[in-house]
Amino acid sequence: VSPLVALLLVASFSKPENTTCRHSGDLENPQLVQDGDIILGGIFPFHSSWKNRQENFTHKPLPLQCESLNFRGFQYAQAMRYAIEEINNRTDLLPGITLGYQMYDACDSIARSIKVALALVNGNTAELTLKECASAAQVQAIMGETTSTLSAAIATAIGPFHIPLISHYSTCACLSDKTKYPSFLRTIPSDYFQSRALAQLVKHFGWMWVGAIRTDDDYGNSGMAAFTETAQRLGICLEYSVPFFRMDPPDKIQKITDLIKASTSKVIVGFLSGMDMDVLLYEFSKHNLSGYQWVGSEGWIFDFQTAARDKTHILDGAIGLSIPKAHVSGLQEFILDVTPLNSSNNDLFIEFWETMFSCEFKRSESAAQVQEECTGREDVAGVKNSFTDMSLMPILNNVYKGVYAVAHALHMILGCNKTCNTDVQPQPLEILEHVKKIHFKTKEGDEVYFNENGDPAAKYEIINWQPKENGIVDFVTVGLYDASLPAGKQLNLQSDLIWARNSRQVPVSICSEPCQPGTRKVLQKGKPVCCHDCVTCAEGEISNNTGSIACVRCHPEFWSNERRDACVKKQEVFLSYEEIMGALLTAASLFGTCLTAIVAFIFFRHRKTPLVRANNSELSFLLLFSLILCFLCSLTFIGQPSEWTCKLRHTAFGITFVLCISLVLMAFKARLPGGNMMKWFGPIQQRLSVLGLTLIQVIICVLWLTISPPFPFKNFQELRDKIILECALGSDLGFWAGLGYIGLLAILCFISAFLARKLPDNFNEAKFITFSMLIFCAVWLTFIPAYVSSPGKFSVAVEIFAILASSFGLLICIFFPKCYVILLKPEKNTKKYMMGKGASK
């Protein structure tokens, strides 16, 4: 050990025991004092501001000079005195123990609040010995402060000493954080619940576009932050949210006024203290800033003095949350009896009395009297001001409950029964732990207890400012909010009792009108979500609720109506007999059938004539029969598709056309002159050939129907607002194989007709058959692209047209020339004429 360290150790152990601790700075004397066995501290705002000084830092700053007497602070002090006096007079609570108090003025200053809090802890002595300095705190608990910012500062300073700080009016949710403020408790609910209750209240009335003004301190900033969070979750938007403090310069208030005038929202949420609201109200009255619906926090909404200052009725119809009404018997009379204050602090009492009655005590014989002279006998009860106004009785009751909470904790610690153990010295930590556990009822039946965060149960009354004919505002309770109830049942409003700005009709405050059914919201760029445009839903989509954020697409079988607010069943479209196109095609089919039947009848009547016999009457009748089937099969394409019509239409068409063309082909092979063709194509060979050619198509159709047959199908893609009922092919290969086979036979038939074009006229009308095959091939070649590109029922019409056109082509080109001869040129239908013409050829 070095010689210097050894010297310091010797010096430290050789210090005398009477070494003293000196108080640094000016001493702070309590404003109100009463001795007792156990002392409780109180910190209240006897003044609401202080005098600003410009310091030049050349000398020690003067002590803070408080100004603007605050009568509410005196009310809180009187409530604390009343509770202590009542406890001292009781025999069942702390018997034999007298409670005393020391109350300081916080002057609404953070620095002064901390200073007086430490004065309560350390005492008000200039010098203390080491032993006295290390002893327990001078007070066992502290009542106060009123504002959250000051309470947070005090709780931070005295928290390490575990001295309970019980506030009656500090509501900031931040104070529930026990890691920062371990010794803080309160008898008023936390703003955690109030902020959410205000947001639910605003949502209840449909006010989705609001402005907000808050006190620029822990109370306002924390409360508004919680309100904003809940409001956003409920879909409420804030057009503006501005902070304000009563000490702000006039230009700041002017900016707030201009902001409100320029805004479009008609509802203002005021998370303000009473003093800040009074300053704003004074400025707003100058600009006649009326016509807005105010929603208020408990800081000002149930203060009759604020209502009395509203001479221009700016706040008429205001609604908000207040602490439930309370009554403490005897408290009002005690508060108004101020004579005991005169014995505690003469200077404070004189200032109180002069301010109360607007008079002045005579200081000396030579002093000039500016105001009326005070006599000291003025009647307090006859004055109407914030001191005699008992609208804050719920807050005074909170002070009363806070004192009783400490008394019950001390009662348990001291083991009181008929008497208390005076040998026990209560320690702050012990008192704090017992205060957290207390659970009792006041004489009025109010339950007092704290949760794990040091907060009481959250219950609020919802009050509405309703002016009477004489201009006095009546605070009407229109509902309740109980945070202990399940979600959805916490807010209970009686809407029929609410009065809003000269009408019971609820004001409207929205950024954009709600989007009606059939439209959806589209957010406006750069604006909150409450500001939107309404866009009509697209075709096939609907919205059937007001304020829809998106349109819902209809089921594929449904389509949106004109208003876009309902899905209606799509019209089912198919080629029907009732529509013009279907009727015309049906008529054409029946006409072709009848015409073919007439031709067959003519041929039957003239079956003995040379012309009919020369054309192989058996094949001719079979050909006419197949043409009738071709005309009739087109009818299967008309009407609503079903399972059997889908299978029948394509197979019947394929088989009948193959039969028809194979008969034409056999007619050429059987009647070609010369060679051995007649020998090889006799009647039996003809029948077998027709049967064989047709059987191939039958096999194709059977395979098609077996593997992947056509089926009825609802086409939603072709037309957006209609359902096309059609027959799906099932197998495209089956369809095109059948059609290709028909085409192959048609080409063979065309080649045969082309080769026979120079045969004798009386033997065969080859050129007419050639022309019919040209028509047939042309029709079906054009059919392919037309069929592929035609939508819905038009593709069916194209197919029917192709069937009818090719059938009429065969009928007209093959049989009409013969009917012309039979009916109009009978002289040519003789054996002599035909033989003679054949010889000339």
Token digits of residue 798: 């194209």
Indicate the SS3 state at residue 734: helix
Per-residue pLDDT tens digits for 628-644? 988 898 888 888 888 88
pLDDT in tens, 581-629: 889 999 999 999 999 999 889 888 887 887 777 766 777 888 888 889 8
Quote the CA–CA distance of 744 and 751 in Å, as a whole number: 11
Residue 223: predicted pLDDT? 92
Q: Is 286 exposed, middle or buried (0-12, 13-18, 19+ CB in 10 A)?
A: exposed
**Tens of pLDDT, residues 388-409:** 888 889 999 999 999 999 999 9
- Model confidence at 363, pLDDT cuts 50, 70, 90, reads low
Flag whether pLDDT at 14 surpasses 50. Answer: no
Q: What is the pLDDT of residue 366?
A: 56
Higher pLDDT pick, 272 / 55: 272
Model pLDDT for residues 220-240, shown as the tens digit of each residue: 999 999 999 999 999 899 999
State the pLDDT at residue 369.
Answer: 58
Instruction: Provide the pLDDT for residue 668.
Output: 60
**How deeply is 232 buried, as exposed, middle or buried, from its count of CB atoms within 10 A (0-12, 13-18, 19+)?**
middle
The predicted structure's pLDDT at residue 667: 65
Give the pLDDT confidence of 39-61 residue by residue, as tens digits. Answer: 999 999 999 888 877 777 777 77
CA 623 – CA 600 distance, rounded (Å): 10
Q: What global pTM score does this model have? A: 0.67
Please list, in sequence order, all residues whose beta carbon lies within 8 angstroms of the beta carbon of residue 666, skipping any fewer than 6 positions away: 619, 681, 686, 689, 690
pLDDT top residue among 725 and 199: 199
pLDDT in tens, 90-132: 999 999 899 999 999 999 899 899 999 998 988 777 676 666 6
User: Given pLDDT bands bounded at 50, 70 and 90, which one contains residue 645?
Assistant: confident
Instruction: Return all residues near 800 (Cβ < 8 A) that are at least 6 apart.
Output: 575, 585, 589, 634, 637, 638
Per residue in 281-325, pLDDT (tens digit) is 998 998 888 889 999 999 899 888 888 888 888 998 899 999 999
In DSSP notation, 679-698 reads HHS-HHHHHHHHHHHHHHHH
pLDDT band at 807 (very low <50, low <70, confident <90, very high): confident
The per-residue pLDDT for 153 is 95
For the segment 814-834, what is each residue's pLDDT rounded down to a tens digit?
Answer: 888 888 888 888 777 777 766
What pLDDT does 370 receive? Answer: 65
* DSSP output for 487-556: TTSSEEE-GGG--BTTBSSPP---SSPPPPTTEEEEEPTTS-TT-EEEEEPPTTEE--STT-SS-EEPPT
Question: What pLDDT, on a 0 to 100 scale, did the predictor assign at position 834?
Answer: 63
- Residue labelled with tokens 């371990």: 182
pLDDT in tens, 434-448: 999 999 999 999 999
What is the Cα–Cα distance from 811 to 628, expressed in whole angstroms? 10
| Rounded Cα gap, residues 231 and 196, in angstroms | 8
Average pLDDT, the chain: 84
Structure confidence at residue 368 as a pLDDT band (50, 70, 90): low
| Each residue's pLDDT tens digit, 679-730 | 555 667 777 888 888 899 889 889 988 888 888 888 888 788 888 888 888 8
**Residue 302, class by beta-carbon neighbours within 10 Å (0-12 exposed, 13-18 middle, 19+ buried)?**
buried
